[in-house]
Amino acid sequence: MKGGCHCGDIRYEIQFKPFDADICHCRDCQKVTGSPIGVWMDFKTEQITWLKGVITEYQSSTNIFRGFCLKCGSTLSYRNSDQPAYFTLSITSLDDPNIVEPNYHIYTDNQVNWLTIQDDCKRYPKERS
C-alpha cells in the first residue's frame, strides 16, 4: 500500500495490512480534517517506510501529536506518545483508500446529526473500551 499528502511532498509505503482501523467522530478529528469524521488505520511504527518528505507534527493535547504536510496541509497522522510502538495514518491518504475498511466507530456522541453512516461496525459513544 502506498500513500501520501495531496501535493506529493510526503510519500509512504506499507507492506502490511493495518492491525486496526476506525472512524472517529471526535471534535478534534472533525476540526483537523475539515470533515465530519476522521478515518484512521493503525500500524506498528516499523511497518511504515517513508519514501519522501517528513511529516510536521504538532501537539494537539497532552500525549497526542497530529501530523500533516507543511506544504499542502493534508492531515496524515495521529500519534500517542504513550504508545511509541504504534503509528496511525489517515486511510484517505492512501492512493487507494478502498483497500482499508474501518472496523468500528468512536466518539459517536459527537456524530453530526446530518450524517448517516449505515454499516455493521461496532459503535462507541467515547473511546473504544
Instruction: Say which CATH number the domain at 28 has.
Output: 2.170.150.70
- 57-60 — which CB contacts under 8 Å span 24+ positions? 60/28, 60/32
Portion of the chain with pLDDT greater than 70, in percent: 100
pLDDT (mean) for 80-96: 97
Is 67 inside a domain boundary?
A: yes
Give the DSSP H or E segment for 67.
strand 64-68
With cut-offs at 50, 70 and 90, classify the pLDDT of residue 129. Answer: confident
14 alpha carbon, distance to own chain's centre: 14
CA atoms within 13 A on the CB side of 17: 9
Is 129 inside a domain boundary?
A: no
Count of domains for the chain? 1
Domain span at residue 98 reads 2-123
The pTM of the full predicted model, rounded to 2 decimals, is 0.94
Mean confidence (pLDDT) of the chain: 97
